[in-house]
Amino acid sequence: MQYKVTTFVLGAIHNNVYVIEKDGKCLVIDPTYDVTFTVEKYIRQNNLQLQGVLLTHGHFDHCGGALHFQKQGIDVYINEKDTILSTSASKNYWNIPCEDVTPNKFYTEGTNIVGDFTFEVVFTPGHTVGGVCLIFGNLLFSGDTLFHNSIGRTDFPGGDDVNMEGSLRKIAAMNDSLVLYPGHGEYGMTLGSEKKSNQYLIVL
């Protein structure tokens, strides 16, 4: 299955917001709080049908724009364990403007179907209790679990070093050909190359 991925780097913390599309349908992954004139404009100009909003975790910078789409009748998906974060996103420590969102759909670990999209969800706690990775074919959306040559912080509430190590072991066991799309920073490298350069994977 051939997917097209368009990346928008948005917000004060430079979030990677992704639109994944096929056959005129699309999903938005981790919409931060200023999506209206970028992501929504792209969807509209390309005549795409938005079928869902997928959150890799509940931190404000990854969910702060989800309510905008939910108000239009679009389902918002999350690991249920991170709902407490997304529903209090506006109370973030940095006082960065965003909207609280109460997701109305929850992932199951394994195969999930949203609209015309079938994908795999891997529960990867560590950065948050309910962090997940999303796999579409050979594309790995890793949220704030794994970055290029780094990993997500574990010193925020809900973070846990032991859980993070377990999640990284799950990722390290995945196919080297997966193409990595993290929540921040560089994207588009293979997981195989990341295993060779990222110290947090090398030591496993």
What is the reported pLDDT for 94? 84
Q: What is the pLDDT of residue 21?
A: 98
- Residue 97 pLDDT: 86
- Interval 2-25: pLDDT, tens: 899 999 999 889 999 999 999 999
At 157, is the pLDDT very low, low, confident or very high (cuts 50, 70, 90)? confident
pLDDT greater than 70 at residue 163 = yes
pLDDT at 1 (0 to 100):
65
- CB neighbour list of residue 193: distance below 8 Å, 6 or more residues apart: none
Instruction: Tell me the pLDDT tens digit for each residue of 59-85.
Output: 999 999 999 999 999 999 999 999 999
pTM: 0.97
